[in-house]
Amino acid sequence: DGGITQSPKYLFRKEGQNVTLSCEQNLNHDAMYWYRQDPGQGLRLIYYSQIVNDFQKGDIAEGYSVSREKKESFPLTVTSAQKNPTAFYLCASSMPDRAWYGYTFGSGTRLTVV
């Protein structure tokens, strides 16, 4: 079955470390997105990519970085510059020319700073 796979499901990071969250899709979707979710704040867009080798900052990109070397993959790196990284991170994908399709979401990665 097609879908989005996020790994790991739980991740622990020491302060000052960079960590990378994986997001892989086999839906042949062109666009991919990263969202951060905190209690009571809904979904906030970190980065998005509409095509391979191109990506755009979202509303809260500071302290994060991404790459899009392959259509199927859109990894997110949480750098040491992100002061409050503990959150639930969601990856999504879509077809940019099919707004009616909606987004498909992964199952999320919960990152905790220890």
Partner 1 sequence: AQSVTQLDSQVPVFEEAPVELRCNYSSSVSVYLFWYVQYPNQGLQLLLKYLSGSTLVKGINGFEAEFNKSQTSFHLRKPSVHISDTAEYFCAVSQPNTGNQFYFGTGTSLTVIP
Site residues for partner 1 per CB under 8 A: 4, 6, 9, 31, 40-43, 50, 88, 90, 92, 94-103, 105-108, 110
Q: What are phi and psi of 80, to 5 degrees?
A: -70, -15
In the complex, what is the shortest distance from the CB of residue 1 to partner 1, in angstroms, rounded to a whole number?
14
By C-beta, is 80 or 103 nearer to partner 1? 103
- Toward partner 1, which CB reaches closer, 18 or 28? 28
Q: 28: helix, coil or strand?
A: coil
CA atoms within 13 A on the CB side of 110: 5
Residue nearer to partner 1 on the CB measure, 8 or 18: 8
Q: Nearest approach, Cβ of 63 to partner 1 (angstroms)?
A: 21
